[in-house]
Structure 1
């Protein structure tokens, strides 16, 4: 990358405080970058930060409960006219393709090294598409972002009503997503333990 005359101004949107803090620390450690804000949701981002005159690149997670599920997060940020870097745990080829179609300028797994996220930011700023950490797992890639979100919460021990509140979805929709995920993965649909076990194996939640 060419030397930047001024630091690239980066805005971070991630609902997980520890993850958000970690990303901010990684970015601040690079003199080529300047963090202009870090927020837990899109709606809390102040209007000036959404303007290209003040922000050069936006890093956004695909998991923003009660606000934007999956690719909707990208669709809400792209209209700002600022390059969008998706940084997500759900780095499958299918979701990558959806994010790219929605206008994302880069796509990085949260399991990627910090240097790859920095490369993604710089590439997006220069108009060059970048991706890293894509998982080509057939079973994982079959699931939609919504199904993956629900599977992760099942593995965390959440019941359907709680998942519904967390994702701002009707309980019937949550139950339908659980059933469809189990069917796609060829799991026993009589209990949810098999889906929870799959989510742990897939790295959606930490193993205990």
Structure 2
């Protein structure tokens, strides 16, 4: 960890909001805005050229969607952490952003401190979600098949087990849940211990018997 400020790219097509967000971020000594754009199509080129630590993107861009812009950034500058800052709080938008590789999701009514916290968190390699989005995700996984069958599992462990039952590999699960491969391995070890199964195959059988493995439809 260095003392250099976190470098941020801001992509939003509303000039007043974009300029205000840049000013907000610049007010924090540990954050600096290195680029800004109102065009999603230009975001990947800017990310490649400027090498920010984090890109903050609106989802409702006029040329290409924020999710498409995020995918292009990942292809051109895979080390850049991605945050959605948007008005959209519906399930489809949230999960589309996660599939596009976003590690943060905030609504535009978030206060300055929360936005700065999200940038710092995503820059560190972790994920950050606003309260409403975090509650939505928790509710989704808590309501997933198998929640009643395996009450001893945490929501995170159920999410991993569900994706295992859907046939995903560990790296695919890590990308889907936006966690590290080590976290996936740790959760799988906990699943084996709590379900008292010797290996992955037996865990998958138990999960499918409980109706799990259906999250493929959300991809």
TM-score interval for Structure 1 and Structure 2 normalised by the shorter chain: 0.5 to 0.7
* Aligned residue in 2 for 1:94: 92
Gaps of 5+ in 2: 137-219
Q: TM-score, normalised by structure 2?
A: 0.55
Gaps of 5+ in 1: 138-208
8 Å CA contact retained: 1:4, 1:32: no
* Aligned residue in 1 for 2:68: 72
Structure 1 residue aligned with 2:110, among 92, 112, 119? 112
Q: Sort the Cα spacing of 1:21 and 1:133 in 2 relative to 1 into closer, same or farther, 3 A.
A: farther
2:130 matches 1:132:
yes
CA distance in 1, matches of 2:31, 2:5: 5
* Aligned residue in 1 for 2:34: 36
The offset of 1:4, in angstroms, is 5.1
The offset of 1:37, in angstroms, is 0.9
* Aligned residue in 2 for 1:145: none
The offset of 1:111, in angstroms, is 1.0
8 Å CA contact retained: 1:91, 1:133: no
8 Å CA contact retained: 2:40, 2:65: no
The structure with the greater share of residues assigned to helix is 2
Q: Deviations over 1:28-63 (max 9, x none)?
A: 00001010011111334584x323873111011111
CA distance in 1, matches of 2:16, 2:132: 23
CA distance in 2, matches of 1:98, 1:114: 25
* Aligned residue in 2 for 1:62: 59
* Aligned residue in 2 for 1:19: 17
The offset of 1:102, in angstroms, is 1.6
CA distance in 2, matches of 1:12, 1:97: 21
CA distance in 2, matches of 1:113, 1:107: 13
Q: TM-score, normalised by structure 1?
A: 0.57
**Equivalenced residues, count:** 133
8 Å CA contact retained: 1:78, 1:104: no
8 Å CA contact retained: 2:85, 2:108: yes
Question: Structure 1: which 4+ aligned runs deviate by more than 6 Å?
Answer: none
* Aligned residue in 2 for 1:50: 47
8 Å CA contact retained: 1:109, 1:133: no
